[in-house]
Every structure is written in structure tokens, then in C-alpha cells.
Structure 1
């Protein structure tokens, strides 16, 4: 909630204490994470990274810094870097599902970025808990001032070419006014047209249901938080009219879907493209 003032004219300051950083009695970030944060800031400002990397290697040691540098470069080049935050919704009692998702996220190169969200459990109707879980994540994203947030549910499966395909989708998302980006879902036998001047995005595609892999843009945060009640009792009443969050999202205008579907669920595989349904292996 504070203000950050960036003063690049101050340049770098170096503590004369040998090759290792000072102790960390105040709970400062580990140096690896501090360097990562600086690299992300430089990247967003369009500044070259090499001068910072050279300084870091001189200060922290070339051997130790080489690994950190490669991790940063890999993260910045991953197409999922486009999304400001990534969450995965998982019930506390279903730890085996989270372990399976950890393996999938590791193969996608995003495990260190995914926040596990402890799903709201509502035994009377899982639709209530699902809706409320998504709402809380959107509320967090708004409070953090994020441009977008990517949400997975813990039974999401991923196409074996998802990294290449997400890269193409991201380049097109940058050119359109999107509010929801759907990586997969139940199409109910429908075919959707490509968005104008796009090869990886379909639009309009308002009848897709399921919320196992989708992103919310900041432009839809306020509407969702205004429309969806913030508590279990309120959502229970809200669902009597809206049925579930995926049904509600069908009414959002700026909704785009990937072509092909990049994420599926075990029970959705029979409805996927026959040429692809055996390739949701990540």
C-alpha cells in the first residue's frame, strides 16, 4: 500500500565485506530472490540486464551467480511469465492431487511461481466453494494491483505443446481487449471462430464451461467482486440464479479461448479433438 520511488541515478552501492552478503537479522530477502526481483524490474522497464548480472557475479561470486542467472533468464523467457500471478486451487484433504500438480508445474517450468490456494470446502455443494475460491483469488489480485491472474484447478491436464501454444496466445492477448482467457473447457459440441487477425485465439466463445485453467484480466475484477457475494451463504443464494461460476462467466463479453485447447480434465478428454486427446500428457 506504500509508494516505491525508483532512483536509478544513485547507481549501485557495494558493501565492502568480501564475496558474501551481510547477515540477515531483519528478515531481508535472500540475495537470490533480491537479484530476481531486480531483474524483473529491469525487464519491465526495458533496461538491459547484463550490467546488473555482471555486478552480481562480481559481488556474489561467478560460480554461485551463474546458476541464479540461468534461473532468472529461464523464467523471463517462459511464456507463463506474462501472467502476474498463478494460483492452483486444491482442497487440504486432497494432498495427492497437489503433488500431481506440482509435477506438472515442474515440467512447465513454473512450479516456483504457483501459489497453492487452500480451496473453500462446502460439503453441501462444491459449486459454492469453487465460486468463492475463484472470487477470493480475484480479490487478492485486485488488492495487489495485478494486471491479470492465472487460475488452475487441481485436476488440470496440459497439452504436450502447451509452452509453444501459450507463447502464441500471449502475443495475441497483448493485442486484444480480453477479460477472460480460457485454456480449455467443455465446448458442448460447438466450434468457435478465430478472433479477428488471430490464429491462436477464438472469440466469441461464450458457451464454454469449466474453470480448471483460465486467466482473469484486471478489467473484469471489479465486476466479479461486485456481482459475486463474498461469503458462503451469499454464494449459495447467488448460485440459485447463476448455477455456478462457469455459467456466470458465459456472460462476460471479452472472453477468449485458445486454439487448440491447452488444458483438459480427465472427464473432458473424450470431447477433445481426436487428434489431440492422447496428448494431454503434462
Structure 2
């Protein structure tokens, strides 16, 4: 049953990064928005395709060194280097679009993002809890890495640092220029740049409960592996409780 359309709480612009070669993923995202009953300025952003010679360009030497350090030497390194570069460029182009368009913030989604059915009720609460608060980034999902800050801010927000993954996050306009100036030169995947360089110096939040996951049983364009489900009892119990709790609002 399709719900009556609603606008996204407290933000107006949503960009879904989608490869031209994956119309199935864009269709899946559209179906998901329809099920959630959300409307507004949701647009597809064509992911950047790496040029054939990108692997040999000297400006990618820092990123190559980083991937070698993390993953070691592998026959898959050139493909991962291309995909990682393309992913970073795609995110930066969305930020550039938001800046040029004068958007006060933008929600960036990757096309393998799965949103929980209770996302809108939670985001409405988040909107109320942010009143009078300044923020720079808000993650709808991600992985917390040890060593970063993590403290409870409100019922549905944790103030965080060192959040990895970039499949669903909001960026405030005050960060556009900085991201565009720093991210490419950092020589890191975009989510590592955010977690290791940017988040320690800005005010970033994670929504509680987590609203966005990367789709399972789907081939990762960067890792070239199919994501398999990993059952974790505590996490699944939290999701069941959240479905019960927030479906009432």
C-alpha cells in the first residue's frame, strides 16, 4: 500500500548517485521512495565514469598507496582504484551541484541504500531535536570506528566522529567549499576523508536508530563482491523494536 506523499523533514534536496549501467538500482530507489511515501526534490545524479587512463595518472599515486596499504597488492587493485576514484568524484560533483544551486543542505544517497520503513517518523523527531542546534553533517547510517567521539545528544541523535561509509548522509552548505578544496587532495576514499580528516573538526551526528543500510545480495561496485547478510541478534532486535515503536507515529 502506497502512503500519502510527504516531504522530507527539515531538508529539501536529495541526490541519488547512480551509474548509467545500473538502471535497476535507480528503479529500486524510486520504488523505495514510493513505499516510504516521500516526495520533494529527489533527483538522480549520473555517477562519474573513470576514464580509461585514470589508473596511470600521477595524481592518483596517494590513493594507490593508500589502497596498497589497506588491501595489499592484488590483481583487483586497478579496478578498485578506478571505482574508488569514480565514487569520490561522484560525491564531489553532487557537492559542487549543491553549492552552485545555493542549496542550504543536501542529502546524498548511493543507489544501493536501503532506508528503514520508519525513516520519516524518526526524521520528524530529529527535526524537532535539531531546533536551535548547529550541525555540519548528519549520517542516516554508517559504521562507527573506535577512537572517534560518541556521545548521546538527544533521543534520536548521537554526536559522533569517525563514521565510515557514505551511502546516506546530509551535508550543510557551510562545508561545501571545504570538502571541494580538501577531499581530492587527501588521497583517501571519500568516506575515509570524511571520517579521518573532516569529522574530527566539524559537528557531525548519527541518527538513532540507524535508518540506512547498504543493500544486501547486491554486487558492490568498489569491492566487486556480493554483500551477504550477517545476522546480529542485538541489531535485529533493535530494528524490530524500532518498527513497533515508530510505526505508531
Structure-1-length-normalised TM-score: 0.61
> Residue in 1 aligned with 2:118?
161
- Is 2:107–2:168's contact at 8 Å kept on the other side of the alignment? yes
- Structure 2 counterpart of 1:259: 208
- Please give the root-mean-square deviation of Cα atoms over the aligned residues, in Å: 2.7
Deviations 1:23-71 (A, max 9, x none): xxxxxxxxxxxxxxxxxxxxxxxxxxxxxxxxxxxxxxxxxxxxxxxx8
Correspondence for 1:182: 139
CA contact (8 A) 2:13 2:40 kept: no
Equivalent of residue 98 in structure 2, options 104, 127, 141 = 141
Distance 2:228 2:136 in 1: 24
Query: Which of 137, 146, 152 is 1:194 aligned to?
Result: 152
Q: Once the two structures are superposed, what CA deviation does each residue of 1:160-184 show, in whole Å capped at 9, x if it has no partner?
A: 2111101111222333211110000
Contact 2:11 2:106 in 1 (8 A): yes
Contact 2:96/2:180 (<8 A) preserved: yes
* Partner Cα distance (1:138, 1:84) in 2: 15
Q: 1:156 to 1:256 in 2, by over 3 A?
A: same
Structure index of larger Rg: 1
**Pairs aligned (count):** 193
1:222 to 2:177 alignment: yes
Tell me what 1:88 maps to: 16
Whether the 8 Å CA contact 1:159–1:279 is kept in 2: the answer is no
8 Å Cα contact 2:139-2:205 kept in structure 1: yes
> How far, CA to CA, are the matches of 2:12 and 2:162 in structure 1?
26
Give CA deviations for 1:59-114 in whole Å, capped at 9, x if unaligned: xxxxxxxxxxxx8xx54xx3x14213111001000111111111001122235531
1:273 aligns with 235
Residues 1:118 and 2:46 are matched in the alignment:
yes
Give every structure 1 segment of 4 or more consecutive aligned residues whose post-TM-superposition deviation is greater than 4 Å. 188-191, 277-281
User: Structure 1 residue 131: deviation in Å?
Assistant: 1.2
Contact 2:9 2:127 in 1 (8 A): no
- In structure 2, the residue matched to 1:127 is 84
Q: Which of 177, 180, 190 is 1:245 aligned to?
A: 190
Structure 1 contact 201–258 (Cα < 8 Å) conserved: yes
Structure 2 CA distance for partners of 1:167 and 1:268, relative to 1, 3 Å: farther
Unaligned runs of 5+ in 1: 1-70, 229-234
Rounded to whole Å, the distance in 2 between the matches of 1:275 and 1:116 is: 33
Distance 1:148 1:268 in 2: 33
Structure-2 change in CA distance of 1:169 and 1:268 (3 Å): farther
Unaligned 5+ runs, structure 2: 51-78, 217-226, 244-249
Matches within 5 A, 1:39-78: 74-75=5-6, 78=7
Considering fraction of residues, name the structure with more strand: 2
